[in-house]
Every structure is written in structure tokens, then in C-alpha cells.
Structure 1
Amino acid sequence: MMFARLFHPARAASRVAVRAGFRAVAHAAGRASLPSVTAVAVAAGVLALAGCASPVSRFYTLNGNDTGTGAPASTRPAGSSSMLIEVPPVDVPPQVAKYQFVVQTGPTQVQVLEQERWASLPGDEIRRALSSDLTARLGAIDVYGTPYPDGAPVYRVSVNVQRFESWPGSHALIDAVWSVRAVRTQAVLTCRSVVSEPVAAGYDALAEGHRRAVQEISTEIAAGVQALAAAPQTRTAVPVKGASSTMTTGAGVIKVPCPTPQGVAPAA
């Protein structure tokens, strides 16, 4: 069986026009001198590269050298202290748990800035800043993720950031619930800190405002650790090897009041 191809005048005319266009371009290129063609190609390449260049990103950190204690952490005798602390990862709200700055533009609106970025995720930045500041204030060692002697007193600091707000040219706010627990005891202290630091215009000032807020929270946490360390300790039940029961050294929960905030502005 044979099939005849249908002739489409419009398609045929289109193919003829395309061929004619290619021939005209080739003829023009042949008449042009090589230097001029090269110059045009180079210029086109430069324009293409300029159009594809990405804006430069700027990176910020909360863990500066100033610990707020009057001396850098590296000069304090932390290694000679018997106090051990643990600062585990810090929880932050999902909407700000990203490298980009998330700034408030209104009560219900935010803007994500691609070129203004944290050096690490905000939760990691807060954790490192707290660890650095607390070890300097308390002369302690942060043993999170590190083995330590079984009988050594250890104070675990847990932080849950409820709000992490950035208002350019206005204020930086951190609202955090934190607790200090004496490991292997019933002693625990749970408090809340709401810190609002005024900031000038610019993103450097905004990052600095958050750094000061973290230091203010660290001041209250350090006071909580010291209060808990001074309170009588009650150990939890400890399994006895080779026995079917457990042995305790006391009962009840130690109640320690939260430290009184000083210089903390109310939430805006």
C-alpha cells in the first residue's frame, strides 16, 4: 500500500525562507574581516559574563571575641575548673532556621535576604555563642559530645528560642525558654528570657543587636547555673548491679528561683 505525501504550500515557503536566511548570514560573515568578528564575539562574551555575575553575599556571626565578661574567653582559666556544662543544640522557629536573614517588614510580613547571611544556621550560631560566653563567665568546660568522669557535676543548659525577630533600624528580639539541669539529679531550673536590643540602620547593627541579646540571656543562664550549683543536690534513682531494685539518695525536686533580669527590655 502506498501513501502520498500531502503538499503544504505554507510549510514549503517557510523552509525556503529559513534556507535563504542562513545563506544571507553566511554571506555576511564571509565578507566581514576576522578581527571585527573576533571583537564582536569578545564583546558578547563580556556582556554575557557581566549579566551572569551574582551579587556578593555578606556573612555574619554571633560568636564574637567579646564575651561580655571583660576579658576574652581564651585568657580565663577554664581548664582548672571542676565545673562542667553541656550546651546541646538550640531550637529556633522554623521560619528563621535558614542561612538567609529573615527580617520583619511589618507585624505579619517578613523578607528573606539572599545576600545577608549567617555564617552558620541561627541555632548553631546561638549555641556556639552561649557556649563561649558561659564557659568564660563560669570558668567552666563545655563537655557536650565529650566523655567526662562519672562522678563529676555537670549542668546541662537547654535553650528553646520562641521568637528570633530582626527589625532593621529598630530592634533585635530574642524570646527564649531555657533550663539548667544538674545531670543525674532531680535539680532543674526552668526560666524565660525576653531580650529586645535597639539597633541602628544596617545589617551589621542588626547582627550586633542579636549578639548582645544572646549575651544578656547568657548572663541570666550563668546566674541560674550558679544558683543551682549552690542548692542541695538530690540524686535520682540509680540501678544496682545484681539486684532487682534501685537505690536512691533522696527524693523531691529542688526549686530554685529564676534570676532577676537586669537591663532586659520588654518585648515590642
Structure 2
Amino acid sequence: MSTLTGTAPPSLAPVPRGGIRQSVADSLVVAQRNLIRMTRIPEMVIFGLIQPIMFVVLFSYVFGGSLQIGASTSPAVYREFLMAGIFAQTVTFATAGAGAGIADDMHRGLIDRFRSLPMARGAVLTGRTLADLVQTALTMVVLAVVALLVGWRVHEGVPKALGAFALLLLLGYAFSWIGALIGLSVRTPEAATSGGLIWLFPVTFISNAFVDASRMASWLRPVAEWNPFSATVQACRELFGNPGVSASGAWPMQHPVWASVIWSVLIIAVFRTLAVRRYRSATV
């Protein structure tokens, strides 16, 4: 006759895991949950695709031929100049959706339920941002196909083009942490959507995404050149071999690839820390 000791059988005992290992595993589980949710709500993906496609078509054919890039006003030149900006705008505008999704989870009490589980504190936010990164990557594939159809081309080879897309996804992931912080700081998903878009418009338009920054007002040009968004756009144009890599004395424009990586890593380090801290204080 066995004696009840109050301890779990060895086969049922939880396997101890280190902090980093547990955080990674929990983050992947949360990311999987969000990806499954996206597949069950296909309109989220469809609407996410429609907006960037509209921007490509409208900007290409409405502004093409009206703006001067270097010494050319050719619509074909402008389309190649434009695409790096559209790619970067697409990955950053996904930030608003990320913030709204987190705010919705907070509003419905889902975050509180996650807190009751034995999981890493930052896994909820990391998993959410990873899922948004996957959705953004799918959007980029479709957008690249549309860009090729309207005349955009890569002139520096596939490896450099893949490097450019990696920089874009890194920027999108960095900005998603800003969206996460906004989503945790407001009370409703509607407020998160509005708050997520307000700051994105000056970031994307006071940049070299749609116009040559050298033609901006003298006081505005340094703002555009030191904009983290501009560094990634400039890096992509350089790696794609597209027109618009104009001469500039600003360090980010002279070394756009390094500037893009540094800016993105700094944004992740700062805003992930703030978002996780906000998550802990907002859900206790």
C-alpha cells in the first residue's frame, strides 16, 4: 500500500525552465494564438492589404510626373523612388493595428486572464508583436508583387533586396513596441487607433519617403534627415538600387544601413522596456 506524500508523480511534475527559455516559449505560444485569430478573421488581413495597394496606385499615377527626382520628372523614375517609402510606410502603419489589438485585449479582460497563468510577464506583448510582424511580412510580399506590376525594379541583386526587406521588418517590429505602449496607455481600442495614427503622419511625411528631402525648407530638412524612418527609406533605396539617394552631409544619410539598424535597436530597447513596465503596472 502506497503512502500519500502530497507530491506529484515524477511524470506529472513540471519541467523546470530557465527565465529566457520560458519567455521565448511563452512568447511563441502567444504569437501562435494571435496568428490563429488572424486566420479566423480574414477581413483583418484583407483590409491590411488594401491600404498599401491603394497608396502604391494613387501615389504612382497621381503624383508620378508631377514631382522632380534629381533632374528627372519621369513617372517611371518617381515610381522607383516612391516604393521604398511605401514599403516603410506600410510596416509603420501596422503599428496602429497592434496598439488597437492590445487595447482590445485589455478592454475585454484577456490580459488579466493571461496574468493568472504561469507565464513570463513580457511574453504577452512579445507574442503579439511577433504575430504582427508575420502579418506585416505577408503584406510586404503582396505589396512587392503590386510594385513590380507598376514598374518598380530591383537593380542591386536579390541578396541586397532581401537585406532591405529585413531592415523594413526590423523597423516595423521596433515601431510595433510604440504601438504596444500606446495600446496599454489608453482605455479603448478606438483611442489606441487614433493615438497610433496621430504621431505616424508627421513621422512618415516629414521624411524622404515621398519627396526629395533636399527640396524641403532649410529648417525642416535636418528633421527629415535625422528621422529614423528616413534612414530606413534611404537604406532601402541604396540596397534596391533605386533613384533618390541624394548627397547629404547628415550622418544617417551617409550611412543609412547602419543608421537604420541603430535607430531600430534603440527604439526596441526603449519602448519594449516601457511597454513591459506599463503592462505590469496596468494589470496588477
- Does the TM-score normalized on the shorter chain lie above 0.5? no
Structure number having the greater strand percentage: 1
Higher relative contact order (CA 8 A, sep 6+): 2
Which protein has the bigger helix share?
2
Give the TM-score, by structure 1 length. Answer: 0.29
